[in-house]
Amino acid sequence: MRVVADQIDHCPYCRTRVEIVCLKFRFSSVAALSACPNCAMVVPEAQHCKKMTVRFSAGARADTVVAIAKSLKAHYRSSWAFLAAAVMTAAALRHTIHIQAGIAPTQIRGGAIAAAIVLALVFAVKKRRL
């Protein structure tokens, strides 16, 4: 089946223009997930969404897709909150170690880099065993 350029943004069943519901960002591209406002059919982008086609069946309702998009947005916000909390905790620990223990910031930095290397090696070894 050959798709004409004008038919890409239209529902394959009722030929109504589809609305973008969800975007999935990757390093080299962006995959769009669209839903028809008339018949609530989900239309994944053909070239980028082989995994999304499996996850979102063609019979999925637009409400389900919106709920999934809200869930992804909540995960995105919580990951940013976790990152901010981690940075603030690291700053508080570094300040406390510097003031209370009297260790110079360069020594703290060297210890942190050494710990990061050790953790990277531990995770690399664990990954190879799995």
Which amino acid type is present at position 35? A
Same domain for 94 and 48, yes or no, is no
Q: Name the least confident of 13-17, 55-59, 60-64, 66-70.
A: 55-59
Torsion of CA 41, 44, 46, 48, to 10 degrees: 180
Which of 60, 76, 102 corresponds to the end of one domain?
A: 60
Question: Cβ distance 38 to 66 under 8 Å?
Answer: no
Q: Do 55 and 96 have their domain in common?
A: no
DSSP 6: G
118 has a pLDDT exceeding 90: yes
Establish if 82 belongs to a structural domain.
Answer: no
- Banded pLDDT at 46 (limits 50, 70, 90): low
12 and 51 fall within a common domain: yes
Is residue 35 in some structural domain?
Answer: yes
What's the CA dihedral at 105, 106, 112, 114 to 10 degrees? -160
Number of domains the chain is built from: 2
Q: With CA atoms as reference, report the closest residue to 36 among 53, 57, 55, 20.
A: 20
Domain that holds residue 12: 5-60
The token duo for 46 is: 């053909």
Q: Is residue 69 part of a domain?
A: no
Last residue of a domain, one of 19, 45, 60: 60
Mean pLDDT of 4-27: 73
Q: Is residue 76 part of a domain?
A: no
Neighbours of 34 (CB within 10 A): 22
* Residue 97 covered by a domain: yes
pTM of the entire predicted model: 0.41
Please indicate, yes or no, whether residues 10 and 48 belong to a single structural domain of this protein. yes
Same domain, 10 and 51: yes
